[in-house]
């Protein structure tokens, strides 16, 4: 489709007018230029990276309609609410509407009154809908959460396979723009192939967000940690993800009993209960949402200050998407993963419970092992994440993750490593971590004796350690690349070339001192105290917290008046800048990031009057 002479300068003017930002982020700029030039485009951007702007701004400039394929009803509603608040003509069609309402929206699109129309992928399979769309001028089809088209992704939906046939059936092929927050190289290949993108421009930008402090804590008393953390951060919105409904319900009840305003969200609740809980969280009526991974894909809430994973997620894609829901406004936020070996068993159980073919199951186990290695890694966690997704980086430590803030000294673990590697070699690399640990401990269990492993020279060489400590050490060696685990439900530990170099005394193993064991009563380990203070500088800030809180109250009143979540009015980052600048004129207000012309006319006056009374 020809797009004429559309320039990035024109796009920038619209960005300032509607969104209140003077310029695009680097990744956004490249994607917008690509779409405006008429190229099929694939954009991989982190959650909170501003993906939606990459197709919303071009939609304002292209002739006709931009059709947005979006997977969740709540996501569509949030996006359309935000767009209409800014004065942009947008609508959605989904199962919550009556037939009459659907027809009205299609007629509005036919009359040219809409610039963006959001639909679920399932709708593209309906003959009547395809026929209606063929009568419209569709300049662009934007596919959100495009990883759902790949069976190797973490949210495969067969309905996404209908996108390409739908596009090919239109009278004139529109520009295709596909977006997702996370994708491995194989999922990227699937998106290009299955969406039938034509020689697409591919942009992978900034998965490592500077405002997110990533932490993995091992050996914590999880309940105690969550209760303490939510109390000390009671004024901040946060999400706690748990692996099972039972754990969600338990945490929800405990938080409620301790006076924390919390909600819960999982598939076992009624639609009404989930909707009420989600709405209360969006409108800041509750501060904490406890949920399974069923919650969040459609949540655009920008001021989530922390995401805690009570259990290890099933893979890195799921983890990065869920953790990325913190700090979408660019403000400093924490992502904390509370890991215990029991999490591995839980995730294996969930894989086995899920009916799927052998290849898919093998892939799930491979991804689970990569997630386990992340949890045991002593490297910078941002490096580990970027390496997983194949994103180039400068190998400069982030300085704010739990690995970078780990104050434990490096110790020479070469002798311990040689003992472990020698034991694995003598066991013919045919067994898993737990049996290797049993042999090194000197266990008399049935399996050790059955194979005669009590005769090995390495038998009992680590008897002063617990089997749990030995298993943890082996898993660290796996994470650091000395060992590898085979795929499947019962992985076998194998030596890697680097381990052979260690056995031949050609390579020294330097690692952090082992974690202190948790107390016998299950109390938290000292892992929290071994990390340097806060992930972010706690020095003096120009933000006036009293003013900021008063601005939040004004925002809340406006949100209640218009029946929209507070962050749709202005996000926290915008209010914080206001509290520093203290604007008293229209021009002052329009220079604040996030205050566009339409929003200023709609919401600016009460804020301006507040600052004028302060003079």
CATH number at residue 575: 1.10.150.80
Q: Is residue 194 part of a domain?
A: yes
Tens of pLDDT, residue by residue over 2-54, are: 555 788 999 999 999 999 999 998 789 999 999 999 999 999 988 777 889 99
Pairwise CA distance, residues 378 & 403, whole Å: 6
Q: Is residue 402 part of a domain?
A: no
419 in Cβ contact with 402 (< 8 Å): no
Total domain count for the chain? Answer: 4
Q: How far is the CA of 591 from the CAs of 152, 473, 547, in angstroms?
A: 44, 54, 19
Q: Is residue 416 part of a domain?
A: yes
28 and 172 inside one domain: yes
78 and 183 inside one domain: yes
- pLDDT attached to residue 297: 56
CA neighbor of 337 nearest in space, from 205, 239, 265, 433? 239
255 and 351 inside one domain: yes
314 and 376 inside one domain: yes
Q: How far is the CA of 569 from the CAs of 282, 327, 556, 609, in angstroms?
A: 12, 17, 9, 17
Answer positive or negative: Cα dihedral of 533, 536, 537, 541.
negative
CA neighbor of 305 nearest in space, from 287, 317, 320? 287
- pLDDT attached to residue 300: 72
- pLDDT attached to residue 156: 81
225 and 302 inside one domain: yes
The parts of the chain modelled with pLDDT lower than 70 are 1-4, 153-154, 206, 296-299, 513-543, 615
Q: Is residue 528 part of a domain?
A: no
- Give the relative orientation of helices 53-61 and 26-36 as an angle to the nearest 10 degrees: 40
56 and 197 inside one domain: yes
Q: Is residue 522 part of a domain?
A: no
- Host H or E run for residue 484: strand 483-485
- pLDDT attached to residue 480: 87
Tens of pLDDT, residue by residue over 266-278, are: 989 998 898 899 8
182 and 123 inside one domain: yes
- pLDDT attached to residue 54: 95
161 and 243 inside one domain: no
- pLDDT attached to residue 259: 93
- pLDDT attached to residue 360: 82
177 in Cβ contact with 51 (< 8 Å): no
Range of the domain at 281: 212-388
Q: Is residue 2 part of a domain?
A: no
222 and 335 inside one domain: yes
227 and 195 inside one domain: no
553 and 609 inside one domain: yes
Of 204, 230, 250, which one is at a domain's C-terminal end?
204
Domain with residue 190: its CATH number is 3.40.50.300
- pLDDT attached to residue 298: 57
490 and 551 inside one domain: no
Domain with residue 427: its CATH number is 1.10.10.10
- Would you tell me how many other CB atoms lie within 10 Å of the CB of residue 586? 15
SS percent in the chain: helix, strand, coil, step 5: 45, 15, 40
Of 204, 228, 251, which one is at a domain's C-terminal end?
204
């Amino acid at each position: 489709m020809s797009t004429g002479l559309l320039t990035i300068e024109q796009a920038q003017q619209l960005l300032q007018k509607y969104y209140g930002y003077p310029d695009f982020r680097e990744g956004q700029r490249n994607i917008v230029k690509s779409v405006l030039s008429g190229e099929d485009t694939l954009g991989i951007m982190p959650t909170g990276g501003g993906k939606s702007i990459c197709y919303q701004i071009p939609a304002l400039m292209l002739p006709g309609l931009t059709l947005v394929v979006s997977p969740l009803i709540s996501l569509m509603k949030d996006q359309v609410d935000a767009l209409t608040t800014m004065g942009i003509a947008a609508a959605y069609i989904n199962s919550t509407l009556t037939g009459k309402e659907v027809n009205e929206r299609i007629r509005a699109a036919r009359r040219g009154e809409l610039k963006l129309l959001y639909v679920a992928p399932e709708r593209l399979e309906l003959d009547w809908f395809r026929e209606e769309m063929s009568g419209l001028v569709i300049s662009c089809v934007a596919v959100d959460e495009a990883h759902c088209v790949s069976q190797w992704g973490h949210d495969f939906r067969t309905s996404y396979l209908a996108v390409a046939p739908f596009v090919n059936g239109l009278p004139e092929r529109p520009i295709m723009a596909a977006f997702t927050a996370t994708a491995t190289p194989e999922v990227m290949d699937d998106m290009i192939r299955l969406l039938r993108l034509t020689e697409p421009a591919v942009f992978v930008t900034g998965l490592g967000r500077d405002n997110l402090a990533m932490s993995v804590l091992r050996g914590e008393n999880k309940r105690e940690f969550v209760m303490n953390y939510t109390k000390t951060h009671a004024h901040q919105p946060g999400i706690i993800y748990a692996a099972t409904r039972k754990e969600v319900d338990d945490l929800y009840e405990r938080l409620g009993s301790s006076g924390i305003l919390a909600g819960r969200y999982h598939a076992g609740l009624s639609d009404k209960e989930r909707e009420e809980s989600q709405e209360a969280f969006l409108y800041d009526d509750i501060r904490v949402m406890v949920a399974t991974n069923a919650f969040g894909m459609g949540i655009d809430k920008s001021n989530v200050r922390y995401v805690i994973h009570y259990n290890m997620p099933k893979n890195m894609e799921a983890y990065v998407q869920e953790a990325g829901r913190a700090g979408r406004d660019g403000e400093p936020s924490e992502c904390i993963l509370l890991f215990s070996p029991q999490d591995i068993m839980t995730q294996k159980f969930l894989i086995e419970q899920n009916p799927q073919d052998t290849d898919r199951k093998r892939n799930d186990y491979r991804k689970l092992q990569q997630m386990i290695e992340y949890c045991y890694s002593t490297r910078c966690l941002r490096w580990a994440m970027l390496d997983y997704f194949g994103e180039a980086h400068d190998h400069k430590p982030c300085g704010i993750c739990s690995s970078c803030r780990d104050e434990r000294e490096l110790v020479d673990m070469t002798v311990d490593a040689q003992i472990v590697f020698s034991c694995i070699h003598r066991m013919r690399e045919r067994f898993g971590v737990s049996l290797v640990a049993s042999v090194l401990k000197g266990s008399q269990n049935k399996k050790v004796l059955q194979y005669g492993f009590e005769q090995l020279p390495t038998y009992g060489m680590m008897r002063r350690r617990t089997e749990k400590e030995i298993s943890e050490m082996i898993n660290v060696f796996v994470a650091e690349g000395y060992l590898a685990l085979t795929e499947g439900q019962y992985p076998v530990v194998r030596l890697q070339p680097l381990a052979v170099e260690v056995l031949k005394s050609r390579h020294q193993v330097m690692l952090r001192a082992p974690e202190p064991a948790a107390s016998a009563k299950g109390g938290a380990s000292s892992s929290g105290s071994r990390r340097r203070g806060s992930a972010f500088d706690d020095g003096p800030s120009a933000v006036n917290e009293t003013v900021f809180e008063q601005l939040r109250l004004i925002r809340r009143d406006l949100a209640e008046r218009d029946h929209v979540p507070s962050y749709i009015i202005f996000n926290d980052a915008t209010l914080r800048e206001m509290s520093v600048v203290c604007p008293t004129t229209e021009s002052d207000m329009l220079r604040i990031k996030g205050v566009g012309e339409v929003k200023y006319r709609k919401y600016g006056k009460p804020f301006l009057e507040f600052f004028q009374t302060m003079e």
